[in-house]
Structure 1
Amino acid sequence: MTVILGIDIGGSGIKGAPVDTATGQLVAERRRIPTPEGAAPDDVKAVVAELVAHFGLPGPVGVTFPGIVQRGHTLSAANVHKDWIGLNADALFTEATGHDVFLINDADAAGLAEARFGAGVDQSGTVLVLTFGTGIGSALIHDGVLVPNTELGHLWLRDKHAETWASDRARERDDLNWKQWSKRACTYLQHLELLFSPELFIIGGGISKKAEKWQPHLKLERSRVVPAQLLNEAGIVGAAMMAAGHLAPAKPSRSAKKV
């Protein structure tokens, strides 16, 4: 059994737990700390270090980030402090924790976890995992291999920005019932179906816990639509998978990581 600490950085909370990367199961109770107001790098770094110290696990640590991640650098910051843009976050967290840290986009982490241990198990071909929350995160997976940083929530549907119009936050903001929201989400999914022809859509984020409210209204002609199974644990599990080297390139050397 390989147990790796996974940490999921979210807009309201930063969550962590040790994960058995062979089964996708959490092996200790998840710990959550509120995300510091403004989510500046130094403040988030301190919370990540606190979680690492709390669990006391040796070895690497996987960390999700709500934005584009390339070779350990964070390249966007839609819902966190702008100082993350261009930052070598791998090095920041590695120095803060004393552990080798592997960083992955939060939706990509959830996608890896759902494909390996959740609703996408044994599904061949193209799978799109979408997380509906404050925005819309996306993970594109083909035959179990992740295509990272797709950011499909930022597509435009004619004059509508997808995540601004069809996210769970948009549902709450516009006081939509579930049938009304599903009509928007279906328009968005139909556009993605046209572009990618996935065999399966997996719908995650906070709304995955309320699938009975929207699933009867969310139907497509060619693709199946199912709720995510791992719920709030998906990001933690996917982060641990990244750190364990599952479906991920080798980590660059410390010298290669320097800005």
Structure 2
Amino acid sequence: MRTRGFGIDFGGSGIKGAPVDLEQGDFAAERLRIDTPDPSTPEAVAEVFAELLSRFPSDGGPVGVTVPGVVRHGVVHSAANIDKAWIGTDADALFTRATGRDVHVVNDADAAGLAEVRFGAARGQGGLVIVTTLGTGIGSAFVYDGVLVPNSELGHLQIDGHDAESRAAASIREEENLSWSEWAERLTRYYRTVEMLFSPELFVVGGGVSRRSELFLPLVRIQTPTVPATLENRAGIVGAALYAATSA
């Protein structure tokens, strides 16, 4: 596998990219951020990707890109929080044409999961690791013995008649002004359901709120060992670069 890669993390407000050292699992140069265009159509975003890549020396290697949606064989199949024009777009082909680089697109939570298993909180852990990202919604990644099982979308499990993320996402804690203990009760219900269905070896909890994990993770009452993510806002870029390097 290559020792250097390039990752781009596409989000609702910003597009961030950096070259990645795939031996250390960290940025090989300072990250660059460009505002996400409005509207954030695939074509408009492709132009930003080309601009972003032009700011760095090119080694001609593959580029990984995160997308907040279901991705199968480079085609985006859902767009809950991005422009609906993404649905049905062959993003791999579009971005490869726009940038002149070999581009591979991956779900954003899946990218974070790959990064945490290879370089972060789950490094060296065998069996099934489930990485969840608690944010506006709940993202998830299944990684079994280091191999990604993509598009798990566990934030959309139906629990007690509700879409799980509509009750337990970090954004809901803020919107409903829940205390940490009240939110932990909802997380306990969520993780117990996932635990019952899949019996993982480890849960890794990511998202920006993981930086305050000491306030809620000890209150989540489940049997599976649970740890906070360690790569924080680097996980998307690092995971995307790793995905591209192993997919090329």
TM-score bracket relative to the smaller structure: over 0.9
Indicate yes or no: 2:142 matched with 1:140: yes
Taking structure 1 as the reference length, the TM-score comes to 0.92
1:168-187 → structure 2 map (5 Å cutoff): 168-187=170-189
Distance 2:47 2:165 in 1: 30
Q: Is the 8 A contact 1:131 1:204 kept in 2?
A: yes
1:238 and 2:239 matched? yes
Shift of 1:22: 1.6
**Correspondence list, 1:94-113, <5 A:** 94-113=96-115
Deviations 1:168-216 (A, max 9, x none): 1111111112111111111100000000001110000111111122122
Measured in 1, the distance between the counterparts of 2:38 and 2:213 equals 31
RMSD: 1.2
Contact kept? 1:102, 1:243, Cα under 8 Å: yes
**3-state SS of the aligned residue for 1:62?**
strand
Aligned to 2:131: 129
1:82 maps to amino acid: K
Give the C-alpha shift of residue 130 in structure 1: 0.2
State whether residues 132 and 204 of structure 1, in contact with CA within 8 Å, keep that contact through their aligned partners in structure 2.
yes
Shift of 1:39: 2.2
Aligned mates of 1:34, 1:135 — CA distance in 2: 21
**Cα distance between partner residues in 1 of 2:47 and 2:218:** 43
Counterpart AA for 2:36:
T
Question: What's 1:257 paired with?
Answer: none
- Name which of 80, 84, 89 aligns with 2:86: 84
Q: Distance in 1 between matches of 2:19 and 2:87?
A: 28
Compute the displacement of 1:219 (Å). Answer: 2.8
User: Helix, strand or coil: the match of 1:127?
Assistant: strand
Aligned partners of 1:125, 1:102: CA distance in 2, in Å? 26
1-side partners of 2:38 and 2:144: how far apart?
Answer: 37
TM normalised by structure 2 equals 0.95
Q: How many Å apart are 1:29 and its aligned residue? A: 1.0
Unaligned runs of 5+ in 2: none
Q: Which amino acid aligns with 1:80?
A: I
**Across the two proteins, how many residue pairs are aligned to each other?**
246
The answer as to whether partners of 1:4 and 1:57 remain within 8 angstroms in 2 is: no
Q: Secondary structure at the match of 1:240?
A: helix
Question: SS of the residue aligned with 2:237?
Answer: helix
Gaps in structure 1 of 5+ consecutive residues = 252-259
Structure 1 range deviating more: 31-40 or 97-106: 31-40
SS at match of 1:55: coil
Aligned to 1:224: 225
Range moving further from structure 2, 234-243 or 6-15:
6-15
Question: Structure 2 CA distance, aligned partners of 1:49 and 1:210?
Answer: 35
Which secondary structure state, in structure 1, belongs to the residue aligned with residue 81 of structure 2? coil
Whether the aligned pair in 2 keeps the contact of 1:38 and 1:80 (CA below 8 Å) is: no
In the alignment, residue 101 of structure 1 is paired with which amino acid?
V
Question: Residues 116 and 230 of structure 2 are in contact (CA less than 8 Å); yes or no, is this contact kept in structure 1?
Answer: yes
| Identity among equivalent pairs (%) | 55
Contact 2:203–2:225 (8 Å) recurs in 1: yes
Please name the residue that 1:36 is paired with: 37
